[in-house]
Amino acid sequence: MSPQATPEEIAGIQEEIERIGFRPFINPGVERKVIAVLGELDVRKADLVDHFSTFPGVERVELISELWKLASRKYHPHDTVVQIGDVRIGSETIVIAAGPCSVESEPQLLEVAEAVKKAGAHLLRGGAFKPRTSPYSFQGLGEEGLRILAKAREKTGLPVVTEVMDTHELPMVAKYADVLQIGTRNMQNYPLLKKVGMMGKPVLLKRGLGSKVRDLLMSAEYIISEGNDQVVLCERGITTFEDSTRNTTDINAIPVLKHWTHLPVMLDPSHATGDSRYVPAIALAAIAAGADGLLIEVHNDPPRAKSDGPQSLRPDAFESLMVQMGKVASAIGKTI
């Protein structure tokens, strides 16, 4: 819309979009109103550009060539900030989510939560429902794990990030979680993405281990198109022919995503490398590359961890890494 468009002209466009069977999306709160027209494309698409160009208040009508629309910077040029209580992801402050891979017991989680809080983490991570490659591996504590997470939040004040694996468990997980994590194996679980979009809670969407950056954005589009733009993307390493590490960190994905989308981008160096010895280097690289945050596994006793011990930092190593990350952040004009 032109900067001078009146509220009536904007409302008129929205009505017209609905009248012809499409869905209007509008960015609230920005000085320049961009209205997205969403729906299934067919031969009428060229006509639609002409059609809307004639309406009062319209400055320009453009087809967004990417398959993702609402996630695109063309629709939403400014960075989206995802707000979780006082924590803002996508701002000058790099957000650190830290905690164990799995919630194993109350003493274990409370110990790790206190330690990461003391070191300066902003969010507490921990899985209660675990997507394990083998059905014989620890599957998580389920609702008991969620209750323990809520207790740790109460004690530390840290908002909780936890994975939801299934639409059936979504209401339960949403009752306890501050951020709903969609894991790598579920990135293309479209029914789950849609349902999570309807919950209106911040979402941490991890990249599929065999998915392209484009596919990640399409998955984000599923969530946003249900009315929830509080989506944080997370690069967590992809499968390649390289087997010296568990996965291969696609560091390129950070600047590419920052270019293509307004959504904040985090990186998970723990799953990306699978080895606690390499986690600090990749965490620092992610900050230098422009990541808005990091998701880091920390365990009080990694050799005895029920999942992902080899890639989990001990609390003292995490504390040193926080200091290092602060230095890299300040070198690029950010803080932690």
Cβ-proximal residue to ligand PEP, closest one: 183
State the binding string over 133-172 for ligand PEP (x if CB under 6 A, else -): ----------------------------------------
Long-range contacts at 222-226 (CB < 8 A, ≥ 24 apart): 222/190, 222/193, 222/194, 222/197, 223/193, 223/194, 223/196, 223/197, 224/70, 224/71, 224/197, 225/25, 225/38, 225/70, 225/197, 226/194, 226/196, 226/197, 226/198
| Other Cβ atoms closer than 10 A to 175 | 10
Among 57, 90, 99, 127, binds ligand PEP (CB under 6 A): 127
**Residue with Cβ nearer Mn ion (72 or 307):** 307
Nearer to ligand PEP, 236 or 258 (CB): 236
Q: For the beta carbon of residue 128, count every other beta carbon within 10 angstroms.
A: 28
Shortest gap between Cβ of 237 and ligand PEP (angstroms)?
8
DSSP conformational letter for 102:
B
Between residues 130 and 201, which has the closer beta carbon with respect to Mn ion? Answer: 130
Our finding on whether 90 is near ligand PEP (CB under 6 A) is no
236 in contact with ligand PEP (CB under 6 A): yes
DSSP secondary structure of 66-96 = SS-STTBTTT--SPP-EEETTEEETSSBPEE
Site for Mn ion in 267-326 (CB under 5 A): 308
Q: Which does 258 bind (CB under 5 to 8 A by kind): ligand PEP, Mn ion, none?
A: none
What one-letter code names the amino acid at 144? E
The answer to whether 101 contacts Mn ion (rule: CB under 5 A) is yes
Please count the other Cβ atoms lying within 10 Å of the Cβ belonging to residue 91.
17
Site string for ligand PEP, 260-279 (x = CB under 6 A): -----------x--------
Record the tokens describing residue 317, joined without a space: 């190593």
> Is the CB of 27 or the CB of 307 nearer to ligand PEP?
307
Q: How far apart are CA 297 and CA 303, in angstroms?
A: 13
Q: How many residues bind Mn ion (CB under 5 A)?
A: 2
Q: Considering CB distances under 5 to 8 angstroms, the limit depending on partner class, which of Mn ion, ligand PEP, none binds residue 100?
A: none
Q: Does 131 bind ligand PEP (CB under 6 A)?
A: yes
Query: Closer CB to ligand PEP, residue 27 or residue 219?
Result: 219
Q: How many helices (H) and strands (E) does the chain have?
A: 11, 12
Question: Residue 16: in which H helix or E strand, if any?
Answer: helix 7-19
Residue 283 CB, shortest distance to ligand PEP, in Å, is 15
The span from the CA of 322 to the CA of 121, in Å, is: 8
Closest CB 211 distance from ligand PEP, rounded Å? 11
* Rounded Cα gap, residues 82 and 103, in angstroms: 25
Site string (191-230) toward ligand PEP, x via CB under 6 A: ---------------x------------------------
CB 217 within 8 A of CB 71: yes
Question: Which of Mn ion, ligand PEP, none does residue 306 bind (CB under 5 to 8 Å by kind)?
Answer: none
Nearest to 213 by CA among 285, 263, 154, 274: 263
Q: How far is the CB of 334 from ligand PEP (least distance, A)?
A: 24
Chain residues that interact with ligand PEP, rule: CB under 6 A? 101, 127, 131, 183-184, 206, 236, 271
